[in-house]
Amino acid sequence: MIPPPRALVFDWDNTLVDGWPAVLAGLNAAFAAFAMPPWDHARVLREVRRSLRETFPAIFGAEWERARDIFTAEVRAVHLSVLRPLDGSAAMLDAAARLPLAVVSNKQGPILRREAEHLGWAPRFRALLGAGDCAADKPDPAPMLAALNAIGAAPSPEVWYVGDTRLDMEAARRAGVSAVLLGDAAHDGGMPHGLCDARFADGHALAAYLCGLDKGG
């Protein structure tokens, strides 16, 4: 087992919250504007990993910035009404409250921070970094290193990055922190052996582990 954490950094979507309905609405608004077929929820969950500025040029070509603006406008219109914390997220954050916490996500930074404020979670985190906040986006190490700087931690196995996809595990490894999987990554084709350093079934399981540390377990 990896060392117990001295700091925790979390992914956002599908790790702490379910915000996929807004992403689906935004994508399909952009697809409709370009006469492209819509995606369903399963495809969004399966394929959306990297940030918008990395993926939209390949999908929409030279007009990707117009597609971005359509997507962003639709997401902003609906995201707070459909946002839901995942079961176990609150317990996990409560159990981790004694540790420095941050978020590194590929959701656009302003939208990420608005969602954290809406849930009343913003004060829990010393940094909330999303796509566009650094020179490059996850899995590039830049946002993770910026988050670590904000919480006063150096890269080490005692810093855990908790996420739900292979991309998250890659981001952790590239930044020199422990890669901790939440769930089974079934939506991401499963997790190859050795790609994550530790795995917890859900937020409740990670909360129980953290509570055990507080009790000397």
194: left (phi over 0), alpha (psi -120 to 50) or beta: left
Q: Is 11 a catalytic residue?
A: yes
Backbone conformation region of residue 2, classed left if phi is above 0, alpha if psi is from -120 to 50, else beta: beta
The active-site residue, picked from 11, 164, 168, 197, is 11
H helix or E strand, kind and range, residue 203: helix 203-214
* DSSP 8-class letter at 23: H
Active site residue 168: no
DSSP 156-175: STTEEEEESSHHHHHHHHHH
User: Which is catalytic among the residues 13, 133, 137, 168?
Assistant: 13
Q: Is the dihedral of CA 2, 17, 93, 129 positive or negative?
A: positive
Active site residues: 11, 13
